[in-house]
Every structure is written in structure tokens, then in C-alpha cells.
Amino acid sequence: MGSISTGHHATLLGLGAYRPRRVVTNEEVCEHLEVDAAWVHARSGISTRRRAEAGETVVAMGAAAARDALAAAGIAAADVAVTLVATMSADTGCPQVGTRLAAEIGATNGAAMDVGAACAGFCYALEVAASLVDAGHGAVLVVGVERMSDIVEPTDRSTAFLFGDGAGAVVVGPSAEPGVGPAAWGADGTQAGLIAQSVTWAEAHATGERPALRMQGPTVFRWATSRMVPLVFEALEKAGCKPEQLDAFVPHQANARITDGLVKALALPDHVTVARDVAVTGNTSAASVPLAMHDVLTTGGARPGDLALLCGFGAGLTFAAQVVSLPPV
């Protein structure tokens, strides 16, 4: 087991997850697409994904994951100093999800806000949380939650089969030793059109067209497999770690082919567990990294205290990576 030699004097105290009850197969998704289940699996590695039903709102799902994370950390909601919610599928722009989620769980003694960095949102929020802990703000709750089924068009072959719904959460708190490495992160707005809302809100009001997520999949694939490789090496260097010291690699669960490309480029040794939750959960955007962490820990692929490399990338374009000590579940 390796350790983080330089980083935030903060650590992940607890982890929680929420997966919607409804499981959607490739066969069901393909009822609206002119492709078959084998085509979907070959291009994504996805067999099933979860879809939220009535009552499984972004607030409800995020709150469920948050309660589990707080229980695992042994922290009362009233003692949370800041609640950060990473999401790109908020049901309202005002008020934000963060304030409503904090109220739902009783975390009303601190601040709350949303972090909008799409599929990199959880890793972005984790860096903000660790910095807040360093600054003396106490326990910070980080939630990644998405209801992607609300913003994806069922007949769009570039997105319909990829995305799922769900939530994951961690509690970040003070630590004598670094438990969260410094983030390697950035953004490239010159590529904003690669993953974007189909129409602006003004255009939607004028025309009645429903805004939906659009993605140039092949271009995003090439960008992710090239841009993320130097980024994850930068995150390892910042934390003073080498690939062979890792116990787990938990990338954003975009699709299996991108994960395979990153694993090959990193030349990870066989003992490193690679998160592959995308196969049964789909791409859950800002929720994918904590959900994948939860899967790795609950299936025995890694243990609390093990060293893991996280990375996220998505619309913006945004990207981030950091090394963490895995939390209790």
C-alpha cells in the first residue's frame, strides 16, 4: 500500500451511494434506436444502466447517498460546514440543488452550493472540498448526482445508450497525514461544442424545442484518450506517487473503451484494481466516480485506506485527477 507524500491535510471519511431501482437493458434502449444490443455493448462496454423513476429526484438520490456517507464517516449532518453538489442535470437552476439537498438531510448549519463541471464535477468538487478543509472549515460533504435521463433524447444514437442516473457522496475532513493529493485539473472552452446542450434556454422558449444533450462521440473519445494521459501522470507526480504504488484506478465511467485506453497508457500492474462500474451503471456523469469507488470497495477490489487514482473529464471541456486514500463505506 502506497501513501500520498504531498497534498491536502484532508481525507475521505466516508462514502455513500444511491442507484435507482429500475434497470434498463441494452435491448430496451435499442427499441428507440436503429441499432442492436450487440452494437451498443461493442462501442461502450455497457450492458445495463439505471434510470430514475418518479420520486427519485436529484435531491432525493443525492440525499440518500449523502446520508450513507455521513453514517460511514460518523458525522452528523448538523456538523457539515459546507455541502457541495456536482451535477449537470439539476431540475431547477434556481434554487440550486445544493441548498435543497442540505435542507433535506439537515445540514443547515453551513454553506451549500452547486459545482458545475459536468462529468469532471465530482473531482472538481473534491479539490474544492479538500482546500476548504485545509482552510479550517471542518467537514465538507461532496455529492455527485445526476438524472441524465431528463436531458438525453431517447432517439439520439450518440447519447441515449450511454447515460444512466444515480448519486454518490463522500465526507471530507481534517487529517494529520495527506489523504487527498493535489488535483491536476483544467478546462478548454475552445472545445465547448463537443458536448453541449442542443439549444439555449432563450431558443427553447422561442421555439418550444426541448433542450437535450448532444455529443460528438468519436472526437470526444480521441480527446479523452490523449488529454487525460498526461493529466493523470501529473496528478501522480503532484501526490508523490508512482503507478505501481496504486491499489486502484477509478476513472470517470464514460465508456469501457476509454478506460481500456487509459489503463494501457498508464501501464498499470496487474495488482491495481480498475473500476468498471460503467458495465452495469452506465455513464452517470458527475456521479460516476463516487459510484465506481463504491463498487470497487463493496465488491472487494480495494479496501479503505488503499491508494486510488481518480479522474474525471467531460463537457466544458473540463478535466481533473487526484490521488486519494479510499474511505470507509
pLDDT over 70 at 1, yes or no: no
pLDDT over 80 at 328, yes or no: yes
Mean pLDDT of the 107-133 span: 98
User: How much is the pLDDT for 116?
Assistant: 95
pLDDT over 80 at 128, yes or no: yes
Which one of 252, 255, 294, 311 is the catalytic residue? 252
pLDDT in tens, 149-192: 999 999 998 899 999 999 999 999 999 999 999 999 999 999 99
SS3 167: strand
Q: How far apart are CA 212 and CA 313, in angstroms?
A: 19
- The domains spanning 9-175 and 184-326 adopt the same CATH topology: yes
Work out the burial of residue 182: count CB atoms within 10 Å of its CB; fewer than 13 is exposed, 13-18 middle, 19 or more buried: buried
User: How much is the pLDDT for 81?
Assistant: 99
User: How much is the pLDDT for 34?
Assistant: 84
User: How much is the pLDDT for 59?
Assistant: 99
pLDDT over 90 at 18, yes or no: yes
pLDDT in tens, 41-77: 999 999 999 999 999 999 999 999 999 999 999 999 9
Q: Is 252 a catalytic site residue?
A: yes
Q: How far apart are CA 209 and CA 190, in angstroms?
A: 26
Domain ranges of the chain: 9-175, 184-326
User: How much is the pLDDT for 131?
Assistant: 97
Mean pLDDT of the 314-320 span: 95
User: How much is the pLDDT for 325?
Assistant: 98
Query: Which distant-in-sequence residues (6+ apart) come within 8 Å of 210 by Cβ?
Result: 153, 204
pLDDT in tens, 194-224: 988 888 889 989 998 888 889 898 899 889 8
pLDDT over 70 at 140, yes or no: yes
Q: How many CB atoms sit inside 10 A of residue 108's CB?
A: 14
The CATH class given to the 184-326 domain equals: alpha beta
Average pLDDT, the chain: 95
DSSP assignment of 258-314: HHHHHHHHHT--TTSEE--THHHH-B-GGGHHHHHHHHHHHTTS--TT-EEEEEEEE
User: How much is the pLDDT for 201?
Assistant: 86
Q: How many CB atoms sit inside 10 A of residue 43's CB?
A: 17
Q: How many CB atoms sit inside 10 A of residue 250's CB?
A: 31
pLDDT over 80 at 5, yes or no: no
Which one of 30, 241, 283, 294 is the catalytic residue? 283
More reliable by pLDDT, 5 or 287: 287
Which one of 119, 123, 241, 311 is the catalytic residue? 119
Q: Is 26 a catalytic site residue?
A: no
pLDDT in tens, 267-292: 999 999 999 999 999 999 999 999 99
Q: Please give the distance of CA 266 from its chain centroid, rounded to a whole number.
A: 20
Q: Which CATH number fits domain 9-175: 3.40.1190.20, 1.10.150.20, 3.40.47.10, 3.40.50.720?
A: 3.40.47.10
Work out the burial of residue 206: count CB atoms within 10 Å of its CB; fewer than 13 is exposed, 13-18 middle, 19 or more buried: exposed
